[in-house]
Structure 1
Amino acid sequence: MGARLFQKIGYIFQSIASIVYNKGEVCLLCENPEEKELICDVCKSQIKILKLKYDVEQQGIKFPCCSLGIYSFNLKKLVLMLKYENEFMAGKILASYLSSYIKEDLEENIDLITFVPSSKASYRKRGFNQCEVLCQYVSEECGIPYRSLMRKKSEGRDQIGLDTNKRWENVKDSFMMINKEEVFNRKILLIDDVVTSGATSFYGAKCLKDGGASEVYILTVAKSRV
């Protein structure tokens, strides 16, 4: 419990530091002068929001999914800045696009927002879960409550470098429900950062559905070309 609390305190400190030291004087992406917003108009124009809609499916079970765009260029750069450089303002930018999609294009009324849990090893290494960061920002902007509803019950291998079949096998049955009473008969939006094979998002959604959710929808920042 003490270690977990220490990690949370570190995450809060990093979040505050990210806000304090990014004063909007330079663009987050190109570092050219930018007084009004976090990124300049040129960099913003290079973020291609395509709203890619598709299903993630396995063995006849499928869940509707939307990815804002392809995992490339500035969209990819923002994800990597959040994930590996602790740049929480990059997460705030990404969350603003996710929130716009929810407000403008998601036809369903969502009861709860949740996120794909990270492994204990990843959480220890970063001190935070990038999907939870996105979830928090989206919850604030959309006024929809968010909850932690799953945890990863097995570490497994890192998905990076695995082929499609191994990705599906690696993540199968790796999630378990927590706070199950929050899930029953509710429409839940599951947020992930990047979809590659779709295995992680699928099994996360399946865990929620098996736990009693009436519907589960998946929303991700990007879809990998791989």
Structure 2
Amino acid sequence: MGNEFIKNIKYLFNCLLEVIYSDNRGCVVCNEYVSENKILCTVCLGKIKKCRGCFEIHKENLNIKCYSATYYSYIIKRLILNLKYKSDFKAGEVLAKYMLETIENNKMKFDIITYVPLTKQSIKKRGYNQGRYLAKFIGDKTNKKVYRILKKCKQTKDQIGLSKEERWNNLKGSFQFINLKYFQNKNILIVDDVITTGATGFYCAKTLIKNGAKNVVILSAAKSSI
């Protein structure tokens, strides 16, 4: 909690600096000059490819519907890494706005929002959960409540470098629900940053469905090789 509070204070301080030094705006990816109220330059914006429609993850007799706002590319990768490891909330705002556009374009319906949880160790190391940030941004704009209804109950290996099968085995049994009252008989939106194999989102969705959720849909900022 203390680390997250400090991150939020730093964010507010950066906002104040931007007001004072408003002529020193730069693209959050390449640092080139951008016009007022813009976060990315036109060159970087032009390199982002949006996803259309939805796809499904078929596993263990479940079909989980998924939406992704963009395809994972160099620009999107930089935005996600900046949000995750540099507390760059401007980068997060760009991602969240693409996700909001996806919700609107696909007329997505849901009752409440949650997000992919991190272990306590990861929260302590990073300071906050980037998925929670994206979920809160989306919740504020859609007037939907955001709840922490899942927890990650074991520290898993880094997914980078693992095969598809190893990624699925690595995450199996990693998530537990916290409180039934928030999600039973509800349509739930799970927010994540990147879908690669879909294992993370699937096991989160499975946990909710098996414990009483009416329906679960996953929304990510980007999708990779799925």
Q: Considering the TM-score relative to the shorter chain, is it more than 0.5? A: yes
| Distance in structure 2 (CA, Å) of the matches to 1:52 and 1:164 | 24
**What is the aligned residue count?**
221
Partner of 2:71 in structure 1?
A: 70
Cα deviation code 1:162-185 (max 9, x no counterpart): 111111111111111113201011
1:19 is matched with: 15
User: 1:96 corresponds to which letter in structure 2?
Assistant: K
Work out the percentage of aligned pairs sharing the same amino acid.
Answer: 33
Aligned: 1:112 with 2:100: no
Name the Cα RMSD after superposition: 1.7
The offset of 1:15, in angstroms, is 2.7
Does the 8 A contact of 1:19 with 1:89 survive in 2? no
Unmatched 5+ stretches in structure 1? none
Q: Deviations over 1:70-105 (max 9, x none)?
A: 211211211111112211110011001111111221
| Structure 1 pair 149–75 and aligned structure 2 pair: CA distance change class (3 A) | same
Q: Which residue of 1 aligns with 2:146?
A: 146
How big is the shift at 1:21? 4.0
1:11 deviation in Å?
2.6
1:56 to 1:129, Cα distance in 2 relative to 1, 3 A: same
Which amino acid in the other structure matches residue 3 of structure 2? Q
Deviations 1:128-176 (A, max 9, x none): 0111111111111222111111011111222222111111111111111
C-alpha contact 1:114 1:146 (8 A) present in aligned 2: yes
With normalisation by structure 1, the TM-score equals: 0.91
Deviates more, 1:201-210 or 1:35-44: 35-44
Match of 1:46 in 2: 47
Q: Partner of 2:64: helix, strand, or coil?
A: strand
Query: Alignment partner of 2:216: what SS?
Result: strand
Q: Tell me the TM-score normalized by structure 2.
A: 0.91
Instruction: Please name the residue that 1:125 is paired with.
Output: 125
Helix, strand or coil: the match of 1:128? coil
Alignment partners' CA distance in 2, 1:99 and 1:38: 16
Task: Extract unaligned runs of 5+ from structure 2.
Answer: none
Moved more, 163-172 or 23-32: 23-32
Q: In the superposition, relative to structure 1, how do residues 14 and 209 fare at CA in structure 2: closer, same or farther (>3 Å)?
A: farther
CA distance in 1, matches of 2:127, 2:201: 22
Contact 1:34–1:40 (8 Å) recurs in 2? yes
**Separation in 1, partners of 2:163, 2:17:** 40
Paired amino acid for 2:219: L
The residue that corresponds to 1:176 in the other structure is 176
Task: Tell me, in whole angstroms, the C-alpha distance in 2 between the residues paired with 1:40 and 1:193.
Answer: 22
Confirm whether residue 215 of structure 1 aligns to residue 215 of structure 2: yes
Q: Residue type of the partner of 1:57?
A: H
Q: In 1, distance between residues paired with 2:10 and 2:158?
A: 25
1:207 counterpart letter in structure 2: T
* Conservation of the 8 A alpha-carbon contact between 2:197 and 2:225: no
* Residue-by-residue CA offset, 1:38-82 (whole Å, 9 max, x unaligned): 112222121111235211221221200011222112112111111
Say which SS state the counterpart of residue 162 (structure 2) adopts: coil
